[in-house]
């Protein structure tokens, strides 16, 4: 094995303009006005709308695959009663108190009437969304001195990748001794294969944790020595069921200590029909976060309609979950400097439009500000599994880096490839301080992010991820703070660090704030004083209460934190800099959002009913799409390993 980094030949190419999995939903418009009672059964509030609609469309004896969430009144007679209703139990999720069931359409209401049934939702289809280390600040962050290692590289941290599989034989996943860092491979699709015939998961995993052996370390992942857990939940065509995702998440909870699983990457999504309060995947994600696991989810790729106009309200599940770090896609235009960066047009925008019915038949919408962050996601080159579906059906996705199967690289674009950038960043932060909670990591990444000029918070959240700033800040913090009191000093220095980072010769300001549910918070106390919302078992948004439209602070936040009731268009400096885009009072209103679904004059809100009751039945079509960028020079690999990464 050659330990040097040989001179690399370069191939000049014009990057293809069609290199992303862009999910094009066809939402159905709701009838009536939000808040109007719907004429449904007495138990309709316990049944997802797409289950009810499907039950009405199919014959009474037709089987519907559902997820049944039970409450603390769960009866041991559940399975026996289910069989009497001709239902079939296909799986049990012990950590989530849920069951996977094939249920006759005629039995939906009967099952919902049981006192031990909390909520019934459809076993929906998930689908993949389809020199980052320099432009994200990861290279600068690696200079941190970690004892007995080569620097900050994710060593010892387990990242679980729920996707289409990982090609464990790819050179990108070797450690410095030549051993594979894919330490577990499990299949939850029923296909009983563990590699990646679709091609999405290998690419995603290498962005989070690919090494620098190929092409002179030009395609090094964010945490190049982290361990990977290959949890295959998407099949050979890139789709899968919610029940597969839940089973994989249940496995993560059971085995997190064995493999030190601290981060879960979910570059996939399903229609966000149900409120995060009832969505089974969101509930599962919350349990993982409460157990100390960072969950990073893609926001989706539905930022424009067929006419190319911006649309809002197309965040997918589990990206709608408040405890997850939801990531959108930024376009870096092929440069390391960040002054030209923007939000990719196709990246989904908030607010979240998931909802629930109360027992009186009144519908309530979540309306959360999402995403939380954006990261590079346009025309990203990284590992390709051999003969994968994406490249064989779209040959232009092959980046032409190598002719060797275990060294090939490909292009992909979308929030799905932005998500593992943040997953890798979380692994670096956890290596720097293993005592960090998921909420602390979320705060650090948002506080140090770069607000992108001209984009509102529903497009970019706090801004573009800045790993250098987040690592620098965590290195100044006290350790073991998860049980601290509100107001306890966070930093080991007096004062505050300079809230700036320099990348590729450009210095930019940090956001210096965090996104909450419907607004944002700013102030140096966020990094100088411990806030109760940084602990386990709480949401960061728990620091704000809403009472008759007025927002008040509770004991979860110190007095030095300032709250805003606006959504802003950034001027490119910090979270308080910019012009008003939308007030939070409008965002959380029980009335129609602004007017007739039109969100100010910036774009169109997708109907008053999120994705429509039959979105999962109709499925999700995919086309190839990407934003234009500059001509790039792609390094060509000569087949010899570079170990100086």
> Which residues are part of the catalytic machinery?
163, 200, 416
Non-local (6+) Cβ contacts of 612 within 8 A are 26, 27, 28, 29
Distance CA 399, CA 271 (A): 31
Q: How far is CA 442 from the centre of its chain?
A: 12
> How do strand 158-163 and strand 227-232 relate by DSSP bridges?
parallel
Q: Which of 346, 350, 238 is nearest to 301 (CA)?
A: 346
Q: Which tokens sit at 68?
A: 């049944």
Determine what percent of the chain falls in helix, strand and coil, rounding each to the nearest 5: 25, 25, 50
Distance CA 530, CA 640 (A): 48
For residue 329, the SS3 value is strand
How would you label 535-566 residue by residue, b for 16+ Cβ within 10 Å and e otherwise? beebbbbbbbeeeeeebeeeebbbeebebbbb
For residue 467, the SS3 value is helix
Contact 146, 419 (CB under 8 A): no
Distance CA 593, CA 602 (A): 14
Which run of H or E residues covers position 102?
Answer: strand 98-104
Distance CA 465, CA 424 (A): 11
């Amino acid at each position: 094995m050659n330990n040097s980094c040989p001179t690399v030949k370069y191939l000049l190419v014009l990057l293809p303009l069609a290199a992303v999995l862009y999910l094009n939903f066809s939402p159905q418009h709701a009838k009536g006005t939000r808040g109007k009672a719907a004429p449904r059964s007495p138990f309709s509030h316990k049944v997802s709308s797409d289950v009810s609609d499907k039950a009405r469309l199919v014959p009474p004896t037709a089987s519907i695959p559902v997820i049944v969430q039970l409450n603390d009144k769960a009866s041991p007679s559940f399975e026996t009663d289910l069989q009497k209703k001709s239902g079939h139990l296909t799986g049990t999720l012990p950590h989530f108190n849920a069951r996977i069931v094939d249920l006759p359409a005629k039995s939906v209401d009967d099952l919902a009437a049981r006192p031990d049934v909390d909520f019934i939702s459809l076993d929906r289809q998930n689908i993949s969304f389809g020199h980052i280390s320099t432009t994200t600040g990861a290279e600068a962050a690696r200079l941190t001195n970690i004892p007995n290692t080569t620097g900050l590289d994710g060593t010892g941290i387990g990242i679980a990748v729920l996707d289409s599989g990982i090609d464990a034989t790819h050179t990108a996943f070797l450690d410095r001794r030549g051993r594979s860092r894919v330490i577990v491979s499990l299949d939850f699709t029923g296909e009983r294969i563990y590699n990646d015939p679709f091609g999405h998961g290998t690419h995603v995993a290498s962005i989070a944790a690919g090494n620098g052996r190929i092409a002179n370390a030009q395609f090094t992942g964010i945490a190049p020595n982290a361990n990977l857990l290959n949890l295959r939940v998407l099949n050979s065509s890139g789709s899968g069921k919610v029940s597969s995702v839940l089973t994989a998440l249940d496995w993560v909870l059971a085995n997190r200590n064995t493999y030190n699983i601290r981060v879960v990457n979910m570059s996939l999504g399903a229609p966000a029909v149900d409120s995060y309060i009832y969505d089974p995947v969101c509930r599962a994600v919350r349990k993982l976060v409460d157990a100390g696991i960072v969950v990073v989810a893609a926001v989706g790729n539905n930022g424009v309609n067929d006419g190319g106009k911006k649309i809002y309200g197309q965040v997918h599940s589990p990206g709608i979950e408040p405890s997850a770090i939801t990531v959108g896609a930024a376009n870096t235009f092929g440069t390391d400097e960040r002054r030209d960066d923007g939000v990719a047009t196709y990246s989904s925008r908030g607010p979240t439009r998931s909802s629930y019915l109360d027992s009186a038949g009144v519908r309530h919408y979540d309306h959360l500000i999402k995403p939380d962050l954006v990261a590079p996601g346009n025309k990203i080159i990284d590992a390709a599994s051999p003969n994968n579906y994406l490249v064989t059906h779209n040959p232009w996705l092959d980046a032409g880096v190598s002719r060797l199967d275990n060294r090939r690289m490909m292009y992909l674009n979308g929030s799905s490839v932005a998500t593992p950038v943040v997953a890798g960043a979380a692994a670096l932060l956890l290596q720097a301080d293993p005592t960090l909670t998921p909420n602390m990591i979320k705060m650090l990444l948002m506080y140090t992010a770069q607000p992108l000029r001209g984009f509102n918070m529903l497009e970019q959240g706090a801004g573009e991820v800045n790993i250098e700033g987040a690592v620098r800040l965590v290195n100044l913090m006290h350790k073991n703070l998860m049980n601290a009191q509100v107001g306890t000093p966070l930093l080991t220095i007096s004062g505050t660090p300079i809230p700036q980072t320099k990348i590729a010769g450009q210095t930019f300001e940090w956001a210096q704030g965090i996104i909450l549910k419907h607004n944002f918070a700013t102030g140096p106390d966020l990094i100088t004083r411990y806030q109760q919302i940084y602990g386990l078992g709480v949401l960061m948004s728990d620091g704000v209460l809403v009472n008759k439209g007025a927002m008040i602070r509770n004991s979860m936040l110190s007095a030095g934190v300032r709250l805003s009731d606006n959504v802003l268009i950034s001027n490119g400096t910090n979270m308080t800099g910019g012009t008003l885009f939308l007030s939070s009072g409008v965002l959380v209103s029980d009335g129609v959002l602004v007017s007739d679904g039109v969100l100010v004059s910036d774009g169109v809100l997708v109907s008053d009913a999120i994705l429509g009751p039959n979105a999962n039945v109709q499925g999700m079509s995919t086309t190839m799409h990407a934003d234009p960028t500059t001509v790039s020079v792609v390094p060509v690999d000569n087949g010899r390993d570079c170990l100086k990464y």
